[in-house]
Structure 1
Amino acid sequence: MTRQPSNLLPFPSNARSGYSAAVSLPGPLADAEMRAEMIRGLLCQLTDKGGAQTLDLRAHLLSYAAQELLNEMVVLYRRALGASAAQG
């Protein structure tokens, strides 16, 4: 009997630097950080040289733009949390 390939995404086996710092954060913040790192990892896999070979230039540019927006979103999110913690 042949084994069918799984349709599930593999769970990250190694901790990324941003996520490992988020482990000590409170529940919802750690969850948000983990999801941001998972999205970042998926975008990196998409544009990796060993990844999808059939992607055209437009898809690569869209992926890079999405990575930059994700990075900006994380920075803004952390600033907002810091500002609200300083006020309250």
Structure 2
Amino acid sequence: MHFSIPETESRSGDSGGSAYVAYNIHVNGVLHCRVRYSQLLGLHEQLRKEYGANVLPAFPPKKLFSLTPAEVEQRREQLEKYMQAVLRSVERT
């Protein structure tokens, strides 16, 4: 199984909420879902409870302010590497 995050999308919030970045998660080359950073952070926290903090790689840090396009790209790359590392870590357990 191969996870990738080849692209992001700028989305407007529901009911006039603030804009956010959606990360397009692909599994084996096929779009699986679009998620927010906060959803991936929630997944990370659940995985830590299940597998322990020492098994998982570090999660990309949260930023206090809006991200520039370069920072969005950097985070996309970090999240993609994180997802791939999680898969390798979980497969070993």
Q: TM-score, normalised by structure 1?
A: 0.42
Q: Which has the higher strand share?
A: 2
Q: Which has the higher helix share?
A: 1
Rg (Cα) greater in structure: 1
RCO (CA 8 Å, sep 6+): is it higher in 1 or 2?
2
